[in-house]
Amino acid sequence: MIINKLEMYNFRQYIGYQKIEFSTDPDKNVTVLIGVNTSGKTTIVRAFEWCLYGKNGFEDPILLNSDIRDNMQVGDIQDVWVAVTFTHDEKVYTIKKIFKYLCNERISDGGKWNVTLNKKPEEILSLEYLQSDGQTKTPIDQSNISESMDRVLPKDLADYFFFGGERISGIANRTDLSKAVRGLMRLDVLENASTHLSKVVKSFENSIDTSGDANAQKAKDSLGTYMKKREQVVDEKNNAEKQMEYWKSKEAEFNAQLAKSNIDQVKQAKKERDRIESTLCSEKSKLERAKKDMVNYFSDPKFRAFAYFGMPAINEVLRSLDLLKGTKQNVECVPDMEQGAIDFLVKRGHCICGTKLDKGTIPYEKVMEERRILPPEVLSSAVQTYKSKAEGYLAGTEDYKSNMEEKYKDIRHIVRRIGGLTDDLEKQSELILDDTDAKKIEADRKDAHTKYIEAKQDYDSLVASIGGCDTNIKNCEMAIDKYAKSSTKNTRVARFISYSQKVYDWLLETYKGKEEIVREQLQIRVNDNFKKMYHGERSIVIDDKYRVKYSDITTEESDGLKAVKSFAFIASLVSMAKDKILDDADMKLGQVYPLVMDAPFSNVDEIHIDNICKILPQTANQVIMAIMQKDWEYASNNLNQHVGKSYKIEKDKDADGKEIDTSTHFR
Amino acid sequence: MFDSSFRITGKHANYWKDLCELAGNVPDRDQHNNFKIFNAYIDAYILCPMIGYQYNRKGVIDNSVSGEAGMIADVFKERRAQLKFIYQTLMLLDVDSEPDLEKRVYRAFTFAESTKEEKQFISDNMKIYNSYFLGGLEVLHEEFVDQCIDQESYLKQIFDYVRHFDEEQDGDALKEGIDKYINK
Amino acid sequence: MEQNLDEKKLDTIKLRILEMETDNIVRKESNPAMEEKIKNMIMKEVEKK
């Protein structure tokens, strides 16, 4: 992930529309934003955090510029948004988050206006990427946005790439850094797998212990039921809560709409809506057809799913039939002769050599003896028929999987298109509002109010029933514990345990092996970086929680030293991710990450600033820092040659030349 | 064989209904209104025995829940060739009921049903076919109905199910897959 | 507890677990849900032919 640009609209003190473009030049990969205290440096990092991960780190949670806010009338709606454009895997994405603030109340408070906004503003989040033609923008499905962002840069790791100066010194001293390191190195998959599997082994073991005991079994069954019920009730409760909030804000929204209904753009929007609706309609019937087609391919015997899934079984049969033929031949019968041939000879009364074959004579008995070891004509031809049928069925199965894959891809494709069209339709519907609708809006508002009351009642009763479930769950668990004692060993479960245990051992071993490599590498790199940054002689050890420790005596360390340590740690982490320590292309690792920092050097000695500035541009792929004027004077010596873009953050001034706190611009 | 109506009761009847499109008058249709992976009962009746065999799963009618489902003799007509083929395959394979290979071959290729003994013989064989059918119903029910919530997840599961089977036929493909995840 | 274990089966289980866990890095299902899934998968794979 490399950040191309940040756009903000009425976000805190950044009034109106403002844009910063960041340097993406690999040689000059540093962008500096220089400002005095309280100018709004911290807000930059927070704008990133809010837009990308929904984190709101402000004491006053309202994001809307306070000038704009103070001028709002009841019913007015004002947008705040932040958009981040970034490059990931050679694609350019833009993520944009909008909050729509609605003014609920405006009270005069001794000459000052006190404006109250809705607590939960409507949020609109969109993520789109630029097609390779550099023009077409393709939106990503609403439901996939957070998943997509998590793939670009997992939320848990964001702390290590977007941080303020006050946080930097703490990073390397955190109690447990394993999560960050494992996540970044993709060790988490193996770790989670072994954690889960160890529980699975336990649960298999448990099932041996109690299966013989009826009471324990009963408790176990009800435990399952209560657990499921609790889960369900919690879901319902969360839903009810959402409903409550939704209807409350809806009511306010309808109120605001009533205040100003307009007729403009309605016709245009309606026309557009009709157009989208008809496209949507045809896409939907296309989807239905595609779904049917896929199910057909699975269901209809003429596509031979039975032969595809029967492949191992049929092959087994063919093998054993061949085997059968082999043993027959060992008995030494006349090759290629069948019972029918003997029957023919007996019927005509004499053998090929001319000997008479009368019943009861020795030649007759000899011939009949031979007949017994020959395959019956019927059977052998039936086997032949079966074989050729089997081969015919199997011949049709090679493409089964790839055909199914095609069909599935087709469906996914249509579904994405429908998602896009549905979003468009939504947008148009929002524009439609004609004046005869005033009545309808009022009815809707009343409806919203009633629904809010209903949702609240639901919510209250659901909270109570969660408590009930909790008690029941506890009782069941106690009962199981009490009754849990060994009973008849179940060989079936024993097999499950053997397999699980074996896979678990393998997972653990693999995980430990890889983890060791990561730890070793990290230690080498942190030491290397630390030596370059710190003027003294100290060496560093990475402990089992990936904490950074000095290998010599533990002396008091200053904040400055802590910060140096953290920088060494982060720089190493970033460089390891970049260098693909563990993986190949398939793992989608070997990623590049930006470092976005606010006042990074506030606690660091001048000499260390110097050193850090030498290392950072080389280890990180992109460095964005908001920095104080005085720190910049030191940093610029080493950093200047790497700076691709630089901005000044300045407060606007009023007519008297006084700085305005609520209005800041980039220059 | 495959020439008279077929009917099952209990748990598996419900599974069958869950997996198949329901035609005609089905009183408890509402209880089985999930997404269907089979167009008709007969389609499941053809595929499930193979799945049951693959998973080594023979089912036994379980009437602890009530349920009923069946097909009339007519529906077998067009599918007789495939049904017979699968029947033969199972008769050749099922070692539990007959350890001797030669006897299994005899069993697989004997269809006469004129005497009482012959009728009994075929009916015993059909029991094996049907127990694999029930086992296959169980497997597919677990794979699909128990795990899928919406149409999307059913469709994804169909694809995954086919894909997984493909991988599992080939030990090298499995190893490659593992390698991709942990790459040495 | 040591029995003859089928290597192909072991590999299948390994691969399926890795797949599920990789998927889950993003999906973030709860631990119990994942354990249940893995458990069912193992039972099925072990019983398979």
Residue at A660 is within a domain: no
Residue at C2 is within a domain: no
Q: Which residue in the block uniquely carries the two structure tokens 């999987």? A: A401
Statement: residue A276 has pLDDT above 70? yes
CA angle, A478 as apex, A476 and A481 as ends, to 5°? 110
For residues A591 and A644, the model is more confident at A644
Residue at A377 is within a domain: yes
- A317 close contact with C: CB closer than 8 A: no
The answer to whether the CB atoms of C11 and B178 lie below 8 A apart is: yes
Residue at C15 is within a domain: yes
Q: Which of A196-200, A344-348, A536-540 comes out lowest in average pLDDT?
A: A536-540
> Is the ipTM reported for this complex over the cut 0.90?
yes
State residue A224's pLDDT score. Answer: 79
The answer to whether the CB atoms of A298 and B158 lie below 8 A apart is: yes
State residue B131's pLDDT score. Answer: 96
Neighbours of chain B (3+ CB pairs under 8 A): A, C
As for how many domains chain C has, the answer is 1
Residue at A405 is within a domain: no
| Residues A535 and A567 grouped into a single domain | yes
Residue at C21 is within a domain: yes
Of B90, B79, B76, the residue nearest B125 (C-alpha): B90
H helix or E strand, kind and range, residue A128: strand A122-130
Cβ distance A581 to A147 under 8 Å? no
| Residues A246 and A279 grouped into a single domain | yes
Say which amino acid occupies A430. Answer: E
CATH number at residue A111: 3.40.50.300
Q: Kindly identify which residue of chain A lies nearest to residue B151, measuring between CA atoms.
A: A291
Q: What percent of chain A has pLDDT over 70?
A: 85
Token digits of residue A265: 């753009």
Cβ distance B53 to B36 under 8 Å? no
Q: Which residue in the block uniquely carries the two structure tokens 């370059």? A: A532
Query: From the candidates C10, C11, C23, which should be mutated to test the interface with B, based on the most B CB atoms within 10 A?
Result: C11
As for how many domains chain A has, the answer is 4
| Residues A118 and A57 grouped into a single domain | yes
State residue A435's pLDDT score. Answer: 52
The answer to whether the CB atoms of A503 and C9 lie below 8 A apart is: no
CA distance B61 to chain A (A): 21
Q: Which residue in the block uniquely carries the two structure tokens 């009994």? A: B120
Helices marked H in A54-141: 66-70
- The 10 Å Cβ neighbour count of residue C48 is 17
| Residues A181 and A91 grouped into a single domain | no
Domain boundary residue among A592, A614, A634? A592
Domain boundary residue among A467, A484, A508? A508
Rounded to two decimals, the pTM is: 0.56
| Residues A364 and A393 grouped into a single domain | yes
State residue A552's pLDDT score. Answer: 59
Q: What would the mean pLDDT of A274-293 be, rounded to a whole number?
A: 90
| Residues A17 and A134 grouped into a single domain | yes
Q: What rounded mean pLDDT belongs to chain A?
A: 80
Q: Which of B50, B93, B151 sits opposite A306 (nearest CB)?
A: B50
H helix or E strand, kind and range, residue B92: helix B80-93
Per-residue pLDDT of A343-395, as tens digits, reads 888 888 888 888 888 888 888 888 887 776 666 655 677 788 888 889 888 88
Q: What rounded mean pLDDT belongs to chain B?
A: 90
Residue at C1 is within a domain: no
How far lies B29's CA from each of A291, B12, B23, in Å? 21, 15, 10
> CB-based contacts of B170: which residues, under 8 Å, 6+ apart?
none
Residues of chain B with Cβ-Cβ distance to C6 below 8 Å are: none
CA distance C29 to chain A (A): 11
CA–CA separation, A276 and A421 (whole Å): 7
For residues A475 and A311, the model is more confident at A311
Statement: residue A45 has pLDDT above 60? yes
For chain B, list residues whose CB is within 8 angstroms of any CB belonging to chain C.
Answer: 53-57, 139, 142, 164, 167-168, 171, 174-175, 177-178, 181-182
Statement: residue A140 has pLDDT above 80? yes
Q: What would the mean pLDDT of A430-445 be, rounded to a whole number?
A: 65
Q: Which residues of C6-18 are buried (b: 16+ CB within 10 A; e: fewer)?
A: eebbbbbbbbbbb
Residue at A77 is within a domain: yes
CA–CA separation, A89 and A592 (whole Å): 9
State residue B36's pLDDT score. Answer: 93
B180 SS3 class: helix
| Residues A365 and A326 grouped into a single domain | yes
Q: Which of A296-300, A304-308, A361-365, B24-28 comes out lowest in average pLDDT?
A: B24-28
Per-residue pLDDT of A543-596, as tens digits, reads 777 777 776 555 556 777 777 888 888 888 878 877 755 444 444 445 778 888
Query: A439: buried, middle or exposed (CB in 10 Å: 19+, 13-18, 0-12)?
Result: exposed
Q: Which of A389, A401, A584 sits opposite B163 (nearest CB)?
A: A401
State residue A263's pLDDT score. Answer: 52
Q: Kindly identify which residue of chain C lies nearest to residue B169, measuring between CA atoms.
A: C8
Domain span at residue A527 reads 171-209+509-592
| Residues A352 and A441 grouped into a single domain | no
pLDDT band, residue B156 (cuts 50/70/90): very high
φ/ψ (deg, to 5) at A88: -145, 130
| Residues A128 and A34 grouped into a single domain | yes
Q: What would the mean pLDDT of B79-88 be, rounded to a whole number?
A: 93
Domain span at residue C35 reads 7-47
Token digits of residue A379: 């059977």
Q: Kindly identify which residue of chain B lies nearest to residue C22, measuring between CA atoms.
A: B181
| Residues A32 and A137 grouped into a single domain | yes
Cβ distance A227 to A472 under 8 Å? no
Domain boundary residue among A565, A592, A619? A592
For residues A140 and B61, the model is more confident at B61
A436 SS3 class: coil
Q: HEC string of A329-383?
A: HHCCCCCCCCHHHHHHHHHHCECCCCCECCCCCHHHHHHHHHHHHCCCHHHHHHH
Q: What would the mean pLDDT of A433-458 be, rounded to a whole number?
A: 75
For residues A173 and A666, the model is more confident at A666
CA–CA separation, A343 and A338 (whole Å): 9
Residue at A654 is within a domain: no
Q: Kindly identify which residue of chain B lies nearest to residue C46, measuring between CA atoms.
A: B55
For residues A327 and B23, the model is more confident at B23
Statement: residue A488 has pLDDT above 50? no
| Residues A457 and A560 grouped into a single domain | no
State residue A437's pLDDT score. Answer: 64
CA–CA separation, A16 and A10 (whole Å): 5
| Residues A196 and A214 grouped into a single domain | no
Query: From the candidates A292, A295, A508, A581, which should be mutated to test the interface with B, based on the most B CB atoms within 10 A?
Result: A295
Q: Which of A129-138, B126-135, C29-38 comes out lowest in average pLDDT?
A: A129-138
Q: Which of A155-164, A432-441, B1-10 comes out lowest in average pLDDT?
A: A432-441
Q: Which of A473-482, B9-18, B136-145, B156-165 comes out lowest in average pLDDT?
A: A473-482
